[in-house]
Each structure stands twice: as structure tokens, then as C-alpha cells.
Amino acid sequence: MEKADLWIRNAKVYNSYRKEFFEADVSVKDGKFFYIDREKSTEFDAVKEIDADGKYMIPGMIDIHMHIESSMMTPGPFGRYMASCGVTTIVSEPHEMANVRGIRGVHEMICAAEEAPIDIYYGIPSSVPSTSSRLETTGGVIDCEAMKCLLKEKDVVCVGEIMNYRKIIEEGNQLEITKFLEYLREEKPGYVVEGHCPSLTGLELAKFLYLGIDGDHTEHTLEEVRQRIENGMFFEIQEKMLKPEILDYIVSNNLYEHVSFVTDDTMADALYEKGHLNKVAEQAVRMGFPVEQAIYCATFTPARRMQFYDRGSIAPGKLADFQLLENLEVMEPSLVYKCGVEIYHRNSAEEPKSSYEFPEDFYHSVCLPEITKNNFQIPANGKKALVRAICVQESCTQTKEVQIEMPVKDGYLHWQESGCMLAMVIERYGKNGNIGYGFLTGDCCRAGTVATTYYHDHHNLLVAGHKPEDMLLAVQRLEKLQGGFLVVNEGEILAELALPVCGILNEGSVENIGRAVKKIRGKMNSLGYKHLNPIMSFGTLGLPVSPALKLTDRGLIDVKAGEIVPLFVK
């Protein structure tokens, strides 16, 4: 009788090479699949035996483009929750942490991931800061030498998304990532490089691809998707790209080899209530994507994209990463294994708390200049002034510029009666004490104050509100919490989430963080913020690579021009 560590009997086993299910028994030795027995004729003397009882056995899912920090969770608890979603491998790009703590932040994320039951790999942050120190102040910088250093880490497997996509295609640019790509072409040809290039087409897209950046996950029209795939770019499909015309194009042209599903940014409340990569694949199936191909694009194609040749299929010699599903319409596993070891059972007890501790200074990252009521007054000349305002749009995180006339009284803007929210970005790393001023209009709050240190990508402190008293209260509270996200109205804190790890992460469970995030979202909506994801919308108002007008500690940024523009219109 053959020996094995694990023997799974009576399963409907997914074959990645045929993209079909076959009834079979599966044996595991030393953490790897040994024999997929379609005849079910071989008996095994196994340490553990599982009767799958006709359940569907598929590989562990692999998410190759995501950001742990988007969940506001730390790697250990995040990885444990991934196991419950059937996800056994992820590639996270930690540029949020890198913006706060530089290369030390990346190293700590790698160390913190060691307690996770799944494999957590990382991409090298390639855009820290996302633009330059002229446009934003960050806590850390990842330059070419830092990228070379990270390249040596065993859990680093790719270059993370290159966000400064228009600048990098300019001939003669001096970007640090340009220098690093030149280094890779000499030292590591073929190394995986992830892109971020919304709207690039034609010659501009060709220039981007010519640099060796051959993956993209951003939102596109059908024509943009067509150009990417036809030019050899691997296309990563996140939830907002699950559009009928996109899926139909892939299905009708049999383009499964060139795509995979990813999650990119998923907040804790969505994780807790919906799931993760499993739900992206499930949604695609509901929209007509063949289920066998959906499994393929959530397991095999992402593994191949990241050169993970040891996983992504149930075959002899591959890592025994798998899950059992009761049906294929609802991709919620009853059992998940990693390298032949159980990491999730639907009936298991509550998950353990994180035991990893970050360095002490990671819990003390909010160092503000002194803020008083006077900081909420903006000097102005004359009786009226024309100002630039950021118009929040309900349907996306992109903004647009509008110009609004405001009265001037006693030498200051009388903004409180303008209908706009005063927005202030306060540099929080103790480097220069900058305060950038702007105004919000459009689909934003009609009352109250919102404030956060979770402010992409530089993560300075943003406070926006209608009353200086509430705004000051919010700033003082965030300083006390050493980071967080909160909503205030009429002197009362309506909802808050502390983010004490570098001002962007909480060490709690997905359930507790998710509940807090949901409450913040609800309070923002109740105060008039119109958006499917108001937290993400608010948190990206300072991202100076996302059109059109954004606010950093340096001031208002015209994203297309890549320049600081004055608050007052001459």
C-alpha cells in the first residue's frame, strides 16, 4: 500500500490543463500533490484521510495585484482572513507603508507576514513618492538603491505598479524607477514589472510597454483593453472592470491566457461582508464568464504571470494548496489547505489575535505642527475672491476643478457660507510643518467634518469640514490616536477608527475593523457625501497622479500639468 500524508477521496477535481472537472482521489506527500487518481483504484496508507463526498476541489486562489494596507489591517490577520476566502497566495504592493516609513516599512511588512498561514509576497514599491518632494511630503522615499536592496529579499517577486506613467515615457526623464528598470534589463531580464496606465493608448502605450512594463490592472474602455491584450500586455481584472463588454470580448476571443482576476483595493467592511478574490470570480461567473475559465483566471494564469511555477494547479509535484467547494455558484470554501496543512475549516473556532509587534516608532508617526483656530482662517484681499475648488464626483475617485466666488470679511475669506468644505492637509512627519489649503464641493458632505491620516499616498493628515471648531477637534483627536479616520459633527465624534500603526493600519480583526469602517461610511453618507466608497474617495483627494485637481501639504496640484497651482484665481 502506498503511503501519503493526506488522502482526499471522492472529489470533483479541477484540472487546469484541460479546464475541466474529473472525479478522482488525490494524495499529498511532503506538502505537494502526489497522485491524482482518476480511476480511484490505488489505496493509500495516509496520516489523514478526507472524504470530499463529491465536493469540488480547486487550487488555492492567487491574487497578484493587491494592497494589504487598503484593508487597514496588518499582514497576519489579513492572511488568516484570506484563508477563509480560499486565497492561499497573494502579491501585495506596500507603497502605502513605504510612503510612511520607507524601506524599513517594507521590511516590517515582510516580517509581519511570517505569521500568516498563506504565502504573502511583495512587489517593490516603484513610486514613493508618487510624484516628487516638490509636490508632496512623504515620511519615506524608495529610490533606485533602495529598490536594488529590496530585490534581494526572498519574498519580493516583482516591481510594483509604476504609477507615474506619463512621466516615465518622457525621453530623458530622471525618475528613480527609470534608473531601476535600466538596471533590471542588464541584471534580471524578464523580471516581472507591474504597470498602472489608465488611458494610455497608441504610441504612448507602446512607449510604456517598450520599457518592459507589461501588466496593468486599472480601469479601461473596451478599446483600451483590446489594445493592451493585442500588444502583449497581461491584463488584471478587478471588480470595477467586470463589465459585460469586457468579459464578452475575453470570452468570445478565447483570451483567458492573457488575463487574471485581482482585487487591488478592498476595504475591511467589504472583505468581511462579501469576501475577496473568490467574490470577483463568482461575480464574473454570474455575468456569463464560464466557471471553469473563472477558476483558471483566479489560480493558474496569475501563478504563471508571477512565475510561480510551483502552484496554481492540482498536479503531481505542485504545492498542495487547495480548497473544497460545495457548489461553484457560491465560491465559499468549506475547507482550505496550504502545502497539505489545513488552514481553514468552516466550523473552526475564532481566529487567534496577531502576535507581531512593530517597532516602537511605528506607533508614534503623527508629529504635527501646533494647530489653533487661527489656522482655519485664510487671508484674502478685497471684498470678494475667486478660488479654485476640488469637485468631488459620485461615480469615481477622479475630481475636477471648479472656480467659486467667496466673500471676504475683515481681511479673511468668509468660506463658512460658501457651501464648500474647507480642506487642510497638514504635514505629519515633523519635517516642515506645511499646511496645504483647498476647498471641496460637489458630492461631498453638506455638514460636519471628516479627517484622516489614511490619505493616499503620502498619508499626511487631511481634515475637511464646515466648522473650525469641529475641524480642530478632529485634528486633536487624530494626534491623540496617532492616526485614524473619523467623522465629527457639532462637537461630537460620530464614528472613528484608530490606525496606530504608522497612521494607516489597525492590528484588530477584519470583523472589528470592518464594523468601524462601515459606521464611518454610513456617517459620511448621512452628512451628504455621495459615493459608492466615500472613504476611498476622501482618501484619494491628495493623490497627485490621479486627475484632475488634488490637495497635498504643498497645496493644490494640477495633476495633468504636474504643477502646484494657487488657491486664488487671478
Going residue by residue through the chain (570 aa), what tens digit of pLDDT does each one get?
799 999 999 999 999 999 999 999 999 999 999 999 999 999 999 999 999 999 999 999 999 999 999 999 999 999 999 999 999 999 999 999 999 999 999 999 999 999 999 999 999 999 899 889 999 999 999 999 999 999 999 999 999 999 888 889 999 999 999 999 999 999 999 999 999 998 899 999 999 999 999 999 998 999 999 999 999 999 999 999 999 999 999 999 999 999 999 999 999 999 999 999 999 999 999 999 999 999 999 999 999 999 999 999 999 999 999 999 999 999 999 999 999 999 999 987 666 667 899 999 999 999 999 999 999 999 999 999 999 999 999 988 889 999 999 999 999 999 998 999 999 999 999 999 999 999 999 999 999 999 999 999 999 999 999 999 999 999 999 999 999 999 999 999 999 999 999 999 999 999 999 999 999 999 999 999 999 899 999 999 999 988 899 999 999 999 989 899 999 997
Assess if residue 6 is contained within a domain. no
Q: How far apart are CA 506 and CA 453, in angstroms?
A: 12
Give the pLDDT score at 175: 93
353 exposed, middle or buried (CB, 10 Å; 0-12, 13-18, 19+)?
exposed
Looking at 307, 333, 354, which one is the last position of a domain? 354
**29 is a domain residue:** no
Domain range for 165: 58-354
Instruction: Looking at the structure, tell me whether residues 350 and 367 fall in a common domain.
Output: no
Say whether both 334 and 283 belong to one domain: yes
According to DSSP, the β-strands at 156-162 and 193-195 are: parallel
Q: At what angle do helices 291-305 and 277-286 cross, to 10 degrees?
A: 140
User: Which pLDDT score is estimated for 352?
Assistant: 66
Is 51 within a domain? Answer: no
Per the domain annotation, does 11 fall within a domain?
no
Q: Is residue 509 part of a domain?
A: yes
CA distance 526 to 503: 25
C-alpha 116/C-alpha 189 separation (Å) is 31
Q: How far is CA 239 from CA 40, 262, 265, 279, in A?
A: 39, 8, 10, 9
Flag whether 184 is in a domain: yes
Which of 291, 320, 354 is the C-terminal boundary of a domain?
Answer: 354
Q: Degrees (nearest 5) of the Cα angle 455, 459, 462? A: 55
- Of 187, 186, 163, the C-alpha closest to 175 is 163
Same domain as 392, residue 473:
yes
Q: How many CB atoms lie within 10 A of CB 309?
A: 10
Last residue of a domain, one of 354, 379, 402: 354
C-alpha cell at 365: 508617526
Please report, as a single letter, which amino acid is at residue 226: R
DSSP string, 336-393: EEETTEEEEETTPPPPPPP-----GGGG---BPPP--GGGG--B--SSEEEEEEEEE-
127 and 91 inside one domain: yes
Q: Would you say 306 and 91 are in contact if contact means Cβ atoms under 8 Å apart?
A: yes
Residue 290: asked if its preceding bond is cis (omega within 30°), the reply is no
Strand (E) or helix (H) holding 165? helix 165-168
Give a yes or no: residue 14 inside a domain.
no
Same domain, 350 and 372: no
Q: How far is CA 130 from CA 75, 121, 208, 241, 267, in A?
A: 23, 22, 17, 24, 21
> Quick check: 415 and 384 in contact, CB under 8 A?
no
Q: Which residues contact 38 (CB under 8 A, 6 or more apart)?
A: 22, 23, 24
Whether residue 307 contacts residue 192, with contact meaning beta carbons closer than 8 Å, is answered with yes
Same domain as 375, residue 287? no
Number of compact structural domains in the chain? 2
User: Are both 243 and 305 inside the same structural domain?
Assistant: yes
- Cell 473544497, residue located: 324
Question: Residue 532: what pLDDT?
Answer: 85
Residues 272 and 374 both lie in one domain: no
Answer yes or no: do 404 and 532 share one domain. Answer: yes
3-state secondary structure of 11: strand
pLDDT of residue 321: 98
Residue 50 lies in a domain: no
Structure-block grid coordinates of residue 80:
488568516
Phi and psi angles of residue 542, each rounded to the nearest 5 degrees, phi first: -115, 15
Residue 501: per-residue pLDDT: 98
User: What is the structure's pLDDT at 350?
Assistant: 64
For residues 73 and 207, state if they share a domain.
yes
pLDDT of residue 199: 87
Give the DSSP per-residue string, 171-223. TT---HHHHHHHHHHHHSTT--EEE--TT--HHHHHHHHHTT--EE-S---HH
Same domain membership, residue 376 and residue 325:
no
**Alpha helices per DSSP H over 65-135:** 75-84, 95-112
Q: What predicted TM-score, i.e. pTM, was given to this entire model?
A: 0.94
Could you tell me the sign of the dihedral formed by the alpha carbons of 289, 338, 62, 505, in that order?
A: positive
Task: State residue 201's pLDDT score.
Answer: 96
H-state helical runs in 232-276: 244-252, 268-274
Same-domain pairing of 343 and 466: no
Rounded CA separation 463/376 (Å): 11
